[in-house]
Amino acid sequence: MTEALVIHGREDLRLDRVPVTAPGTGEVTMRVAWGGICGSDMHYLRHGGVGASVLREPMILGHEISGFVERTGPGVSGLAPGDPVAIHLARPCGDCRECRLGLRHLCNDTRFLGSAAMLPHTDGGFRRLMTVAASQIYPLPPGLDVRGACLAEPLSVALHAISRAGDVRDRTILVQGAGPIGALIVAGLRIAGAGTIITTDLQDFPLSIARRMGATSVINTVSAPYRADHDVVFEASGAASALPTAIACTAKGGILVQVGMFPPGDVGIPLGQIIARELDYRGSFRFDTEFGAALDLLAANPWIADGLVTHRFGLAAFDQAFATSTDRRHSSKVLFDLAG
């Protein structure tokens, strides 16, 4: 048995004891060291679901995970007990149309750590020990510690969004929303050689994080409503009311990448502006092959983790950790220290 953070329903989060499955063929048991709280984890706690993924049974939360190999099952090579590793959250089916086209992140049958999309739900990584497929395990590159490695998942989301925009070198770019994903998009743009990177938000603290990540300038749109033409706009707030502003800020012939996830239901959108100004509106959903690149970038740029992580808590302090993560006035990325 091992200790785990289990969501039983809306506003019902408990520290439970759960069984540990011995690693079978092609599997690895790891000792989890660090886990980052994601917006989806907060949605499960506050609302009992994320979009169409509604809790129907208890589930272990957490998918931004790193730690150490504890034990390997038959048929696993290249990994040994004690190796520092990170976990790719997804296990796609490998057989569907999307998988065959190389779009594994769009596979309808993917199992995601800490997701209620399917029954039985897929338990996540906010626990001391867990067993996963060896294909999901990534050894850490030299220079990257396990604390920084748990940011590979959200950084991969940011890198995938940037790839959806194409070549960003020397472009004028707006990132709308300075939460952890928005801030990591800023970091990725900085590394990719973007020209001007402007970041907007409704709170000053996340804007200070965006500046640490490399934003050229930041604007609190509560006190200074913003309109300007940009080659590329990343809408990373996930607020439906922010979409018309993102469209208005995209230059004619420009690219608007939708990264933030909107609430369920229809979203009003000024399609006439997209048509008349020939805007290219592109969705960006999760990631796939960017995970290894994210680990390498974190190893080469330790300022990313140093600038983004604001708080650390032991697993027993989960109430305080989630309350802190929800407070955007004082926090950005909040981590669980699961080894302590």
pLDDT of residue 70: 98
Residue 268 clears pLDDT 90, i.e. is over it: no
Residue 53 clears pLDDT 90, i.e. is over it: no
**Who has greater pLDDT, 69 or 228?**
69
What mean pLDDT comes out for the span 106-121?
Answer: 93
State whether 115 and 248 are in the same domain.
no
pLDDT of residue 267: 84
State whether 65 and 175 are in the same domain.
no
Question: Could you give the CA distance from residue 308 to residue 158 in angstroms, rounded to a whole number?
Answer: 13
CATH classification at residue 315: 3.90.180.10
Each residue's pLDDT tens digit, 71-112: 999 999 999 999 999 999 999 999 999 999 999 999 989 999
What mean pLDDT comes out for the span 260-267?
Answer: 82
- Considering the chain, what is the average pLDDT of its residues? 95
> Which one of 283, 303, 318 terminates a domain?
283
pLDDT of residue 266: 82
Residue 261 clears pLDDT 90, i.e. is over it: no
* Bridge partners, 149 (sequence order): none
> Which one of 262, 283, 304 terminates a domain?
283
What mean pLDDT comes out for the span 10-24?
Answer: 96
In contact, 110 and 93? CB cutoff 8 Å: yes
Residue 262 clears pLDDT 90, i.e. is over it: no
Residue 51 clears pLDDT 90, i.e. is over it: no
Residue 265 clears pLDDT 80, i.e. is over it: no
State whether 83 and 10 are in the same domain.
yes
Range(s) of the domain holding residue 206: 158-283
In contact, 158 and 177? CB cutoff 8 Å: no
pLDDT of residue 93: 92
Give the burial class of 225: count Cβ atoms within 10 A of its Cβ; 0-12 exposed, 13-18 middle, 19 or more buried: exposed
Residue 114 binned pLDDT confidence (cut-offs 50, 70, 90):
very high
What mean pLDDT comes out for the span 220-246?
Answer: 93
pLDDT of residue 169: 97
State whether 82 and 215 are in the same domain.
no
State whether 231 and 150 are in the same domain.
no
By DSSP bridging, strand 27-36 and strand 64-72 are antiparallel
State whether 130 and 208 are in the same domain.
no
pLDDT of residue 217: 96
State whether 259 and 292 are in the same domain.
no
> Which one of 241, 264, 283 terminates a domain?
283
DSSP 82: T
Each residue's pLDDT tens digit, 310-328: 999 999 999 999 999 999 9
DSSP 136: G
Q: How many domains does the chain have?
A: 2
What mean pLDDT comes out for the span 210-239?
Answer: 94
State whether 117 and 262 are in the same domain.
no
pLDDT of residue 214: 97
State whether 291 and 273 are in the same domain.
no
Residue 17 binned pLDDT confidence (cut-offs 50, 70, 90):
very high
State whether 114 and 235 are in the same domain.
no
Residue 333 clears pLDDT 80, i.e. is over it: yes
DSSP 34: E
Residue 225 clears pLDDT 90, i.e. is over it: no
What mean pLDDT comes out for the span 122-132?
Answer: 97
pLDDT of residue 227: 85
In contact, 270 and 244? CB cutoff 8 Å: yes
**CA neighbor of 76 nearest in space, from 31, 136, 123:** 136
State whether 113 and 182 are in the same domain.
no
**CA neighbor of 166 nearest in space, from 76, 299, 256:** 256
* Bridge partners, 27 (sequence order): 133
State whether 194 and 116 are in the same domain.
no
Residue 52 binned pLDDT confidence (cut-offs 50, 70, 90):
confident
